[in-house]
Structure 1
Amino acid sequence: MAKLRTGIDSAFWDLNVASPRCHDGWAKAVPGGPFPVDGSVGSRVLRPQQLSFFGNGIPLPTLSPTSPKDLGSLAFHSLLLKLSSPRWWLAMTGQFRPRKLISDVKNEISNADDFGLSTVKDVAKHFINKSLFSFGLTSQFAFPPSTSMLLALEGHGEKQTLRRKLMLFHKLPDHDLTLEAAWPQLFVDHMGKYWDVPESLSVDLSSLLSESGLRYHVGIHKNGGIPKAMNATYSNPPLSLLPGLCAKAAFSHEKTKYFWRDKSAVEQENEEVFPYDDRLKEPHAAVSGIIGSSFTSWIWNGKSFSSIDSRDVPEVSTSKRSRINTDLFGSVCYTFQHGKFTEKFGDLTRVDTRLDISSATAFAKKILNCSRSSTADPREKPSASPRLNLIFQQQIAGPVVFRADSRISLESFARKNGLPIEDFICSLSYSLTSLQSGKVVAWYSPKRKEGMVELRMYEF
């Protein structure tokens, strides 16, 4: 199935969106917004471990807009150093942007009257320009039997602020306990805009999915400082990122109904034949659904909205964030898969169609006020409109698969504004049979103008 748990993770603070902006390879989705497309959900494998899998010093290309623009979008990310022991490891990662270096060296040589020692020295200075480089340090400690702690530090040459992160994981028999703190924390909204929250702290207790399909989260989240837009032209922050202390609970129930399912097709034909991806080996058609509820209480609102300087945060003083909020969310998905993904050609075609309602309350208000909604700005309540997510996968050759993820706003579609594709991500993946359900994925997002190469595990 497509990721049904995206709903409850989006309602909470737990959803990581793949992003090349940071050395850890992800940013947090803004809570309360429309559900991100499945192809944008971050890998479960830590970025240093991904780079270690490819090998020390092997650069992986990434694309990400920069400020200033002369740095260029293309960068190469690689593992520079890794030390490990049975209960501890330390990794140093580096990133290099070649465009500015090539441009500066070219200009230096072309503007030189004669190519002498002074020109060589001037050219050499460009190779040590700190804006071309960024570095990250990540370390993880294991405390048997079920606790681990991760520390991360990241610095970009063109920025003075360091990114610091602390994560603590503890596994319980039927729950996962996670503590996460970041200074600052990077968030991305449904429009592809990035926000830096100076201080973010969260404690989350999440249950494992039970046999009945029930799952729940309980947690406390704290934001400190005024969110800063990475793009200066977009400066009105989402309300959920403003300073405050929030207690939140969410639960969901999911169910799957198979119309038909060829569960043992691979084993019946040939015991020596193995699928390229263990989770894509069953041809089937099924419908699945999830429904859930979230409860939010802002225990402390930080500064009152009326006291925030409007010069720093335009329009925030006129916005309202309810201290107590209860909402419903849900998704319905239809999946069809042809092929067992064992042959070299034409053995996998898969389509997932998922309808998401991220806020039933906002959707109901939109229906009741339909006359006013025709002139309302959809950015004011982005969760009010249902979204249709389409995922198409097609085997190209052997373990290589093309995938396209798209998200469509039904509200804009009803207004006959053409085909309003809010987000689109295309990717090529190479499945690794040695990992059962692991793959190397190269994806690109035209909306965010970003792309990267990742190692992903158990994506479905």
Structure 2
Amino acid sequence: MANLRTAMDSAFWDLNVSSPHTLEGSAKAIPGDPFPLDGARASRALRIQQLSLLGTGFPLGIIPSYSPASHKDSGSFSLQSLLLRPATSNWWLGVIGQIRPKKLISSIKAEFFTNDELEVPTFKDAARHFLDKSLYSVGLCTEFLLTPASSVKLSTERDGEKKGRRSKVMLSHELPYHDITLEAAWPELFIDHKGQYWDVPESISLDLSSLVSESGLRYRVGIHKNSGHPQAVNAVNDEAPTSLMPGLCAKAAFSYEKSRDLWRQKETQNDLMVKKDRGWFWRPSYDVRLKEPHAAVSGIFGGSFAAWFQDGHSPVAVELRGDGNTSSSTKKRSPVSADFFGSICYRFQHGKFRELYGDLTRIDAHLDIGSASALAKRVVNGFKSSSANSAIDPMSSPRINLIFQQQVVGPIVFRVDSRVSLASLPGKRGPHIEDFIYSLSYSLRLLQSGKVVAWYSPKRKEGMIELRVFEF
């Protein structure tokens, strides 16, 4: 099922979106933005845990990724590897290394072909290029259990091309029916719905979330604090989102979700056991979450309330990285706000995902309304004037998210996630595609519902390989 809870989680500051921009492999979605694509949601497994398992299936344990660098001469292609991972029963430590080979190869080629004296470069000359710190990024992450229900995770990373480093600490505690999370980062990386990145110098959040009850009710409360001016990482001539501006915010949200099958073909013993010449063999589905053909409808409805305890009406300087210039954002943030959101989903699956060919075709379509108040305001203002309003408030337009999955061969599945906005662009009427992601996944039967996913986002010009377990 498409992750309907994304609708609620995106209202807070802890929804992780997959991104090769950091060694951690994720960035935070910005509250108040349209819901991210389901295919963009980051894996629940830590990046170090992913590399530890993925490394066994790649040559020398090296995992490729693709992301534009700060400097064009470094290239977009990079290679990651897990360098170290000692562990005990209640503690582990991991070190990730990354290199961008384009700059290294270019500098070595220049050493050979631009030598005026026609002398062959020495080993020392070539080795000097390998010692260039700008080629490498290093990240360290450790986690240890305080109690069986409590854990602390610490991480830090440094990019050789940039000054400073990223550090993060997260304390989590599990209660019988709730989860408590305290998280702080210096700085925290956010990504908006346009694919642009923003750094907040300091981001601290405390969150209490309930587990989903049998009735479908779920609620969350939290406090979040931003300090320092948001810095644009790759945005040009754009204003910082208001939710990233300095201030202290208290937020509460609730949601109610329900799902009903229109029809479903239950798994039987004949599906699990197959008779061959040498006897009976056990043949489970490649993914237990895709084992039953069905058609179903589901939906989620919820509301959120936020209160800012610091004036957000004053202009906030936004630093555009690269040239050091600053600009002022004149956006205004309401000190108190309340809103409703909702999502309706229809899904259809053909096939049981057991055979070698043609045993899985699946379509998920859901209509998302991120802000009922913004939509109502747009309707009142009229569709003719909605274009200007939509440019100011991207939440004023409903969006349709479409997910198509098709088995290629065996456990390999091709998938396309797309988001269609029903608003009109300036000078162009009618719906338009806002974002889409291509991916290929290889399901791992031994993990029941685990898969290796290689995805690419044309909008962000980014791609990476991840391990996802028990995730849609």
* TM-score bin (small chain): over 0.9
Q: Are the counterparts in 2 of residues 140 and 150 from structure 1 also a CA contact under 8 Å? A: yes
Following TM superposition, the consecutive aligned residue runs of length 4 or more in structure 1 with deviations greater than 6 angstroms are none
Q: Could you tell me which residue of structure 1 aligns to residue 263 of structure 2?
A: 260
Distance 2:50 2:16 in 1: 16
- Secondary structure of the residue aligned to 2:87 is strand
Residue deviations 1:404-441 (CA, integer Å, cap 9, x gap): 00001011289854662111100000000010000000
Distance 2:388 2:431 in 1: 19
Whether 1:25 aligns to 2:25 is: yes
- Following TM superposition, by how much is the alpha carbon of 1:372 offset from its aligned partner in structure 2, in angstroms? 5.9
Q: 1:67 pairs with 64, 70, 75, which one? A: 70
Whether 1:389 aligns to 2:415 is: no
Q: Are the counterparts in 1 of residues 112 and 121 from structure 2 also a CA contact under 8 Å? A: no
- Structure 1 residue identity aligned to 2:371: S
Distance 1:414 1:431 in 2: 42
Distance 1:69 1:429 in 2: 30
- Following TM superposition, by how much is the alpha carbon of 1:300 offset from its aligned partner in structure 2, in angstroms? 2.3
Q: Are the counterparts in 1 of residues 422 and 431 from structure 2 also a CA contact under 8 Å? A: no
Whether 1:343 aligns to 2:355 is: yes
- Following TM superposition, by how much is the alpha carbon of 1:124 offset from its aligned partner in structure 2, in angstroms? 2.1
Q: Structure 2 vs 1, CA of residues 383 and 151 (structure 1 numbering), >3 Å: closer, same or farther?
A: same
Q: Could you tell me which residue of structure 1 aligns to residue 38 of structure 2?
A: 38
Distance 1:32 1:309 in 2: 20
Q: Could you tell me which residue of structure 2 aligns to residue 296 of structure 1?
A: 306
Q: Are the counterparts in 1 of residues 142 and 155 from structure 2 also a CA contact under 8 Å? A: yes
Distance 2:116 2:290 in 1: 63
* Structure 1 gaps, min length 5: none
- Structure 2 residue identity aligned to 1:316: S
- Following TM superposition, by how much is the alpha carbon of 1:307 offset from its aligned partner in structure 2, in angstroms? 5.9
Matches within 5 A, 1:108-257: 108-114=111-117, 116=119, 119-257=122-260
- Following TM superposition, by how much is the alpha carbon of 1:117 offset from its aligned partner in structure 2, in angstroms? 6.6
- Following TM superposition, by how much is the alpha carbon of 1:114 offset from its aligned partner in structure 2, in angstroms? 4.8
Whether 1:284 aligns to 2:294 is: yes
Distance 1:106 1:418 in 2: 51
Distance 2:125 2:7 in 1: 54
Q: Structure 2 vs 1, CA of residues 232 and 269 (structure 1 numbering), >3 Å: closer, same or farther?
A: closer
Q: Are the counterparts in 1 of residues 216 and 256 from structure 2 also a CA contact under 8 Å? A: yes
Q: Could you tell me which residue of structure 2 aligns to residue 10 of structure 1?
A: 10
Distance 2:181 2:328 in 1: 34
- Secondary structure of the residue aligned to 1:65 is coil
Distance 1:164 1:133 in 2: 17
Q: Structure 2 vs 1, CA of residues 375 and 307 (structure 1 numbering), >3 Å: closer, same or farther?
A: closer
Q: Could you tell me which residue of structure 2 aligns to residue 50 of structure 1?
A: 50
- Following TM superposition, by how much is the alpha carbon of 1:66 offset from its aligned partner in structure 2, in angstroms? 1.0
Q: TM-score, normalised by structure 2?
A: 0.93
- Secondary structure of the residue aligned to 2:424 is helix
Q: Structure 2 vs 1, CA of residues 83 and 310 (structure 1 numbering), >3 Å: closer, same or farther?
A: closer
Q: Could you tell me which residue of structure 2 aligns to residue 98 of structure 1?
A: 101
Residue deviations 1:73-126 (CA, integer Å, cap 9, x gap): 000011000110000000000000000111111111101135647554333211
Q: 1:427 pairs with 439, 453, 470, which one? A: 439
- Following TM superposition, by how much is the alpha carbon of 1:380 offset from its aligned partner in structure 2, in angstroms? 1.5
Q: Structure 2 vs 1, CA of residues 377 and 96 (structure 1 numbering), >3 Å: closer, same or farther?
A: farther
* Structure 2 gaps, min length 5: 274-281, 320-324
Q: Structure 2 vs 1, CA of residues 310 and 437 (structure 1 numbering), >3 Å: closer, same or farther?
A: closer
Distance 2:103 2:426 in 1: 45
Distance 1:379 1:42 in 2: 28
Distance 2:428 2:243 in 1: 31
Whether 1:316 aligns to 2:329 is: yes
Q: Are the counterparts in 2 of residues 63 and 450 from structure 1 also a CA contact under 8 Å? A: yes
Please report the RMSD computed on the Cα atoms of aligned residues, expressed in angstroms.
1.9
Distance 1:250 1:377 in 2: 26
Distance 2:418 2:101 in 1: 31
- Following TM superposition, by how much is the alpha carbon of 1:192 offset from its aligned partner in structure 2, in angstroms? 0.2
Q: Structure 2 vs 1, CA of residues 353 and 308 (structure 1 numbering), >3 Å: closer, same or farther?
A: closer
Residue deviations 1:12-45 (CA, integer Å, cap 9, x gap): 1121000001111100001110001100000000
Q: TM-score, normalised by structure 1?
A: 0.95
Distance 1:402 1:24 in 2: 25
Residue deviations 1:340-393 (CA, integer Å, cap 9, x gap): 101111000000001000011111111111256345163410111111000000
